[in-house]
Amino acid sequence: MTTEERNEQGTVADDGLLRGRFTGGVHPALDRINRSFEVDQRLWREDIEGSRAHARMLGAVGVLETAAVERILAGLADVAAEFAAGTFVDLPEDEDIHMAVERRLTELVGEDGKRLHTGRSRNDQVATDLRLYLRGCARRLAAGVRVVQARLVALAERDGHLVMPFYTHLQRAQPVALGHVLLGYIEMLERDRADLHTDGDECPLGAGAGTGTTFPIDRRMTASALGFARPTRNSLESVSSRRDAARLVSAMACTATTLSRLGADLVLWCSREFGFARLGDAVSTGSSIMPQKRNPDGAELLRAKATVVTGALMRLFEMQRALPIGYSKDLQEDKPAVFEAEDALAQMLEVADAMLGDIDFDGERMRAAVSDPSGYMLATEAADWLVRRGVSFREAHEAVGGLVSAAEERGVALEDLPLDVFVSLHPAFDATVFEALSIDAALDTRTSIGGTSRTNVDSELRRWREVLDSL
């Protein structure tokens, strides 16, 4: 390309920090795809925190004089204040957050700013920033999960004794307490919450470009200052891998999956066909042409937004796949994926909390769904009754299959069949079977650990209340 051609295309003027050896500016197309400041400025807190620790350490080991360190720290505080106040002005040559902070620092404190990058590289710097960010991100999301769990506990404390069908294959299966269903979600979220942390207790700062540095840096000092247990053990691994990001986003995908399932249940429960629940006005939306509509958009988006998180996870794995060890620019694509996943999940947690905080259950419709004679939801009880009389489970299962057919033919519930039909299908039946054929019996005799009895529900809710209060 001739200079004239390049000028025509209008390369970005660039008297930046990195291009001293090159003639001319950067091609605008490269600049557009390469410049990450718009995305990674979100790391400003972590970047400045890392620079602070680095500067102090350089002072401690004698690479910088104490006065220089002080000037740098003061300058960094000013840069941080600008970001916090939203007054930071980025320049075209601020390729990323690291260059932007250093450039501004140098404007503010002069020559000392140019000395900060001693004994480090953007490669270890961004790895450190990211790890710090992931730590905070995990903490924020875990707190959001806790809020939803607490909301579920409160809801279950209020309405947990209501009875509804438990479904398998979306077919009514057995009676269950609403509180037991909500506790199911609390348990799932607990697993999710436990995973929302980073394994990264090792600090990459000081790995340099990837081979370490010739300066006598004290990596234990920076690691400790930034809250890590110790420095990473291998400089190459430190700059090459984004596994921490993939692991955390994989944990986010678990949480998002749980919320997507809650969303699916809310959509069903709020349908006229189920009619179990009604979302409040503030968490419902209307239709542009159907004045009667009350749409559970939030619940639908719980289902759909989970794909944003799994999509981000896919990108994080694929972006790293088959990259040779060492830093490659491909790794820059980590941050948009992490941020997208975090934003989607944070929105999901908020809206789940909002919906669960403004929902009414219709206990009558729920119980009616259980007692609907055509549902035969007590069939398991009849089979279990036989088994308790010494009949083998398979024989009991088959006999009750016959009972259901008989009841279906007559259009009645099992418990409305006359005893002689019972006996004709299995001679062990007697009149006490009707005692087992009650919703409340079905529910409250399930008292083994994890069963749906209302005493279980109550004791689990007490336990959760304590657990969550103690967090």
Q: By CB under 8 A, what part of segment 267-326 binds a second copy?
A: 267-268, 270-274, 280-298, 300-301, 303-308, 310-315, 317-326
User: From CA 201, how far away is CA 232, in angstroms rounded?
Assistant: 9
* Residue 98 among the catalytic residues: no
User: From CA 255, how far away is CA 277, in angstroms rounded?
Assistant: 23
Could you tell me which of 193, 197, 175, 196 has the C-alpha nearest to residue 185?
193
Q: By CB under 8 A, what part of segment 433-462 binds a second copy?
A: 436, 442, 445-453, 456, 460
Least distance (Å) between residue 310 CB and a second copy: 5
Least distance (Å) between residue 312 CB and a second copy: 7
* Cβ nearer to a second copy, comparing 329 with 410: 329
Q: Give the binding-site size for a second copy (rule: CB under 8 A).
A: 206
Applying CB under 8 A, among 4, 86, 89, 233 the residue interacting with a second copy is 233
Tell me: does residue 424 bind a second copy (CB under 8 A): no
Tell me: does residue 357 bind a second copy (CB under 8 A): yes
The region of 41-49, 81-89, 132-140, 200-208 touching a second copy under the rule CB under 8 A is 200-208
Which one of 121, 161, 169, 405 is the catalytic residue? 169
Binding mask 155-184 for a second copy (x = CB under 8 A): -----------xxxxxxxxxxx---xx-xx
* Cβ nearer to a second copy, comparing 66 with 405: 405
Applying CB under 8 A, among 37, 42, 118, 339 the residue interacting with a second copy is 118
* Cβ nearer to a second copy, comparing 80 with 223: 223
Applying CB under 8 A, among 17, 39, 91, 154 the residue interacting with a second copy is 17
Tell me: does residue 22 bind a second copy (CB under 8 A): yes
Q: By CB under 8 A, what part of segment 28-57 binds a second copy?
A: 29-30, 32-34
* Cβ nearer to a second copy, comparing 123 with 145: 123
List, in sequence order, every residue forming a beta bridge with 203; answer none if it has no partner. Answer: 231
Look-up: residue for tokens 């159907």? Answer: 290
* Residue 287 among the catalytic residues: yes
Least distance (Å) between residue 194 CB and a second copy: 7
* Cβ nearer to a second copy, comparing 157 with 330: 330
Which one of 271, 287, 328, 392 is the catalytic residue? 287
Q: By CB under 8 A, what part of segment 381-420 binds a second copy?
A: 381-384, 387-388, 392-395, 397-398, 400-405
* Cβ nearer to a second copy, comparing 132 with 396: 396
